[in-house]
Structure 1
Amino acid sequence: MTLAPRCVAADGGAALALAAGIMPEAVIGDFDSLSPETRRAIPAGHLHLIAEQDSTDFEKALTRITAPVVIAVGFTGGRIDHQLAALHTLMICADRPCVLIGAEELLFLAPPRISLPTERAEVISLFPLAPVTAQSTGLHWPLDGLDFAPGVQSGTSNHATGPMTVTVDAPRS
């Protein structure tokens, strides 16, 4: 709990939190995947039902959490449609810094500039969710001058040569 001292669960994720011995401070969602047993184990005041079906449970939770950064676990495995929906949520909630942690990767919407203490040979992949241009240091294949855009240019399987910095311009319409 050092990395994330507070726990908010999205719907059925509450069962995973309880199984890990963590009582969620809040459970947010439409509760379609929250079992009756899990629901009974959580104090009623921690349950926040959002019945609308126009957003995912991740979006429902992310838009209601106030934190400097949200660390989201459990959104990168399983069904591809859920993974794509999580990326969609990162894009539409760009004002809410969030890092998705998976078994083998970290995913996040890149801010205009980011520096990371990457080590030589670490895999760095960049996938645009909107048209941007990029510049970089510390990558084997520099990004300088590349026009990234969905369906046009991505940056799969680049790798760090040491600490790296990536700068992107604002998404263009």
Structure 2
Amino acid sequence: MKKPIIQTSATVFLIGGAVARQETVIRLAGMVNLIVAADGGADVLRAVGIAPDSVIGDMDSASAETIAALPPGVLYRLDEQDSTDFDKCLRHVTAPLVLGYGFLGSRVDHQLAAMTVLTRYPEKRCILVGEDDVLLLCPPDLRLDLPLGSRISLYPLGPVRGDSEGLQWPISGIAFQPDGRVGTSNVVSGPVRLRFDSAKMLVILPVTALDHLMEALSATPASWPAL
């Protein structure tokens, strides 16, 4: 892989061009020190008066006015059409955590593509934030401190097995796969621990769990190796 465009020790806010609430954009931008726009995400930022540190993409979505307003050295144009702008950004950003907003909601095909990208770069830690949910590719071993009764869903993007603690319906011994057994609509019954044998399981939580999830990831040293 080529040298990353963005290499940082800080959490990155990555904004896409899907339908977004201005108050959510402002809140997430205020949680980080580095903001990256994926193509049309630059228009979303401009609408709320936030300047991106970098803009990455093939630039077929961002308006000409937004592109013209960017200062020198901010725009990284990647002209290939074989990957989505989210893919381009994630593979060119190296950071301990990426908060991705503007990639869920609006179009189901875009959501599915974004989820696929997460499995393509399992070494990256990225939380996708929506209006109702947050999701991520589960690391090898994840511990979560969530309120009892919280919704927690597990959705496999390939064959995967694991074991759990703190779930109303334990998952040990279950062979998960997208066209077979899935683990949606489970419930937190205690301190949660999830362990999986491959980088194929999405964890989906209510958006109110974002802070808990970020804290849990900061205490989780193990990560999947790059493909």
TM interval, shorter chain, is over 0.9
Q: 2:116 aligns with which of 75, 84, 88?
A: 88
Which of the pair has the greater relative contact order for Cα pairs under 8 Å at 6+ separation?
2
User: Is 1:50 paired with 2:78?
Assistant: yes
Which shifted more, 163-172 or 121-130? 163-172
- Listed as ranges, the matches of 1:82-161 within 5 Å are 82-161=110-189
Q: Name the count of aligned residue pairs.
A: 172
TM-score (norm 2): 0.73
- Listed as ranges, the matches of 1:1-20 within 5 Å are 1-20=29-48
What does the per-residue CA deviation read over 1:105-144, in whole Å, with 9 as the maximum and x for residues that have no partner?
1111011111111111111111111211111111111111
Give, in angstroms, the shift of residue 163 of structure 1. Answer: 2.6
TM-score (norm 1): 0.94
* Percent identity over paired residues: 45
- Structure 2: unaligned runs, 5 residues or longer: 1-28, 201-227
Calculate the aligned-residue CA RMSD, in Å: 1.4
- Structure 1: unaligned runs, 5 residues or longer: none
Q: Which residue of 2 aligns with 1:27?
A: 55
Segments ≥4 residues shifted beyond 3 Å: none
For residues 171 and 50 of structure 1, the distance between their equivalents in structure 2, rounded to whole angstroms, comes to 27
User: Is 1:62 paired with 2:93?
Assistant: no
What does the per-residue CA deviation read over 1:30-63, in whole Å, with 9 as the maximum and x for residues that have no partner?
1110101111221131011000000000000111
Q: 2:106 aligns with which of 69, 78, 87?
A: 78
Amino acid at match of 1:64: H
